[in-house]
A and B are shown apart, each in its own frame.
Chain A
Amino acid sequence: QKEVEQNSGPLSVPEGAIASLNCTYSDRGSQSFFWYRQYSGKSPELIMSIYSNGDKEDGRFTAQLNKASQYVSLLIRDSQPSDSATYLCAVNSAGGTSYGKLTFGQGTILTVHP
């Protein structure tokens, strides 16, 4: 059973702080990893994609991937109230095929309070 687990929430941080979101996955053959942000009543919006070990930075967002530990994380620096949303970790569990089926975690609710 291919699984993606996210740290249980909800996560509450003060404005300006760093928010840390974590995700583990079970399929060692996974090739690509994504973080989506979903506001209430809206569709998932891609925040970050990462394909190789290490860090990838985009503005206030940093994704970290460690394939040996089967762990991917998202750091949000200088958190803003507008970052309050549900964050979904998604892992490509193609397992060697090219079908690109994403397995999603259950999501972590982030609240940034002023």
Chain B
Amino acid sequence: NAGVTQTPKFRILKIGQSMTLQCTQDMNHNYMYWYRQDPGMGLKLIYYSVGAGITDKGEVPNGYNVSRSTTEDFPLRLELAAPSQTSVYFCASSYSGVREQFFGPGTRLTVL
């Protein structure tokens, strides 16, 4: 039982490039989330999903896109990377909407 896994662990992008951050969970959770964490700050919700085929925006969705075709996977797409997207990205999953969320190890992204 690996829990929540994320790839890659680190990535450096040039301004204007695109990439997809991968997230997979093996706990059969319906709820999945993407957060970003800037240095010394709390976590900000980017997008979330309550099940396959259902996604919605969080607090800071601009510059990102998501899809959820399976229960297990919730990839985050960055289009036209900008320096403001330099951050650590965490994926999380939860059994229900009011229960605890479990976090993946994170992806550290730098945009230069």
Contacts and interface: CB of A to CB of B under 8 A. Distances in A.
Interface of A: 4, 31-32, 34, 42-46, 49, 51, 88, 90, 92, 94, 97-102, 104-107
B98 A105 contact: no
Contact of A43 (B33, B99, B100, B104): B104
Interface stretch (B40-48, B64-72, B74-82): B40-48
- Most chain B CB within a 10 A radius of its CB, from A4, A32, A101: A101
A19 to B, nearest CB: 19
- Most chain A CB within a 10 A radius of its CB, from B43, B58, B99: B43
B33 to A, nearest CB: 8
A32 B106 contact: no
B72 to A, nearest CB: 18
- Most chain A CB within a 10 A radius of its CB, from B48, B50, B100, B102: B100
B83 interface: no
Q: Is the interface of A mostly helix, strand, loop or mixed?
A: loop
Contacts of A43: 90, 103-106
B105 A46 contact: no
A67 to B, nearest CB: 14
A88 B99 contact: no
B48 A99 contact: yes
